[in-house]
Amino acid sequence: MSQETKMVKSFSTKDILAMAFGTMIGWGWIMLSGKWAADAGMMGAIGAYLVGSVLCIFIGLAYAELTPAVPFTGGSVVFSYKSMGYWAAVVAGLGTGLAYLGVAAWEGPAFATAIDYVFPIPKAGFLWTIQGFEVYASWAMVGVVGAIFLTWLNYRGAKEFALFQNIATLGLILVGIIFLGGGLAMGDMANAAPMTTNFAGFASVLLMVPAMFVGFDVIPQSAGEMNVPLKKIPSLLIMSILAAAAWYILMILATCLSAPIEIRVDGKIPVADSMAYNFGGAVWGKVCIVGAICGIVTSWNGFLYGAARVIYSLANAKMLPVWLGKIHPKFGTPGNAVLVCGIISVLSCFLGKGALVWFVDAASFGVVIMYGMVTLSFIVLRIKQPELHRPYKVPAFGFVAVMSVFVTLFFLYLYLPMGPAPLLPVEWVVVLGWFGVSGLLAVYAKVKYKDVTPREREILMFGEDYVNQK
């Protein structure tokens, strides 16, 4: 029997939207909204997000067709296996795991930074200096506590995960509404200057947009635990992208109206400092940080969830060691996969803020691999299996396919040595180290479980009913 049948289908429509939106909206907008406007101008930054959201929608359309057609936990893994076979699924899964765990590793230090703004953390127990940032045990332990709590939450089950995600997302939205309302009511349009700068500034913001939209793709990871009609999944995917685009645009607007450029760029935490300036009191900066903390934990929670499901999907199909695919008998979660992801998140807290950019950039490269494999699956399945039942079929397939390929290649170009934002040598070490270690585990599984037949593996991945329908 497929372990897929043991996953608890408990996510409602609102749970899915909260998971996707909360995962996309993390810490970046708090630190960077002012810089985006300074680089491109307020209207230039808003324009970059409009363009970027359109580009992401093409990838979203590929997910929208594939998810209800192949509605099983794993997202890129099950799409790639269905379309291109064993090793394509492994590559897709490892790329997706890097994307999710890289961001999850980033959230621990971000969480400690946010807490330090509200309640200054005593500097006790000096550990080391990384990228000019001194790491103290007291500071790192704040992130560790957050990582342990979210790991426990994910281990306990989907219902607990969804309840926490819904509450934290609501908190994020409420603070955003207060910030936006204050900007519109008390802000000054003179603060928003300049409206535009130049193409280089516009391009610098556009380069960052892909990383800000990563998270809608956790929806396919939850396919095995959704309690919603398959035909609703495409609209949920696109709605989540549009909601995130609206959020980023409105937060750029609110930041620009709230404070002059020197505050929204040079502040300790720019958006919080902008809110404090506009509302006329430091306490309002702390209110803003409460919203930021909600954003951090929703993103962190979502990426831990998604990473564990990707690892589970591969291990359940015996493409990674099977102990990573064990379902907890009481909670119905991939417990061992959750614990591994939690351990990685805990360890990252000891690297400090100086290492954040390494994880973000390495994760962005993983996103390129994930999007590339999903795009290829979308195209290959249309060609190889035109008769496949698709509850939603993307119109204008040729145009969407071409644009999806273009978007993937554009994202890839950004991070290669010839691109405008190439990965640093240490970031390549993170990427190659991840693929080296996890790739060895995949090779071990291939040898260890060499007697598993293709049909047996399909049943493990998709379930016997789905396989028998072919």
Average pLDDT over residues 175-198: 93
Average pLDDT over residues 165-182: 93
pLDDT in tens, 300-315: 999 999 999 999 999 9
Q: Of 2-11, 28-37, 389-398, 433-442, which range is least confident?
A: 2-11
- The residues that bridge with 129 in the sheet, in sequence order, are 134
Confidence category of residue 1, pLDDT binned at 50, 70, 90: very low
For residues 341 and 27, the model is more confident at 341
Q: Which two tokens stand for residue 344?
A: 């990685």
pLDDT in tens, 52-64: 899 899 999 999 9
Average pLDDT over residues 227-232: 85
Residue 370 has pLDDT above 90, yes or no: yes
Residue 93 has pLDDT above 90, yes or no: yes
Residue type for position 360: V
Q: Of 72-81, 211-220, 449-458, which range is least confident?
A: 211-220
Q: Which two tokens stand for residue 105?
A: 């590793």
pLDDT in tens, 19-39: 899 889 887 788 888 889 999
Average pLDDT over residues 98-122: 88
pLDDT, residue 2, reads: 47
Could you tell me the pTM of the whole model? 0.90
Average pLDDT over residues 415-419: 81
Residue 199 has pLDDT above 70, yes or no: yes
- Provide the 8-state DSSP code for 131: T
Element at 252 (helix H, strand E)? helix 233-258
Average pLDDT over residues 176-180: 95
CA distance 108 to 105: 6
Closest alpha carbon to 137 in 123, 150, 120: 123
Q: Which two tokens stand for residue 388?
A: 């496949």
Q: Of 69-73, 190-194, 212-216, 340-344, which range is least confident?
A: 212-216
Confidence category of residue 470, pLDDT binned at 50, 70, 90: low
pLDDT more than 90, % of the chain: 60
pLDDT, residue 7, reads: 65
Average pLDDT over residues 174-182: 95
Q: What 3-state class would DSSP assign to 449?
A: coil
Secondary structure, 3-state, 257-326: HHCCHHHHHHCCCHHHHHHHHHHCCHHHHHHHHHHHHHHHHHHHHHHHHHHHHHHHHHHHCCCCCHHHHC
Q: Which CATH superfamily is domain 3-468 in?
A: Amino acid/polyamine transporter I (1.20.1740.10)
Element at 130 (helix H, strand E)? strand 126-130
When the pLDDT of each residue in the chain is averaged and rounded to a whole number, the result is 90
Q: Of 40-54, 119-133, 406-420, which range is least confident?
A: 406-420
Residue 278 has pLDDT above 70, yes or no: yes
Average pLDDT over residues 145-164: 88
Confidence category of residue 5, pLDDT binned at 50, 70, 90: very low
For residues 107 and 374, the model is more confident at 374
- Provide the 8-state DSSP code for 280: T
pLDDT, residue 6, reads: 61
Domain residue spans in the chain? 3-468
Average pLDDT over residues 424-446: 94
pLDDT, residue 265, reads: 83
**Contact call for residues 136 and 125 (beta carbons, < 8 A):** yes
Residue 246 has pLDDT above 80, yes or no: yes
| DSSP track, 56-123 | HHHHHHHHHHHHHHS-STTTHHHHHHHHH-HHHHHHHHHHHHHHHHHHHHHHHHHHHHHHHHHSPPP-
Average pLDDT over residues 123-141: 90
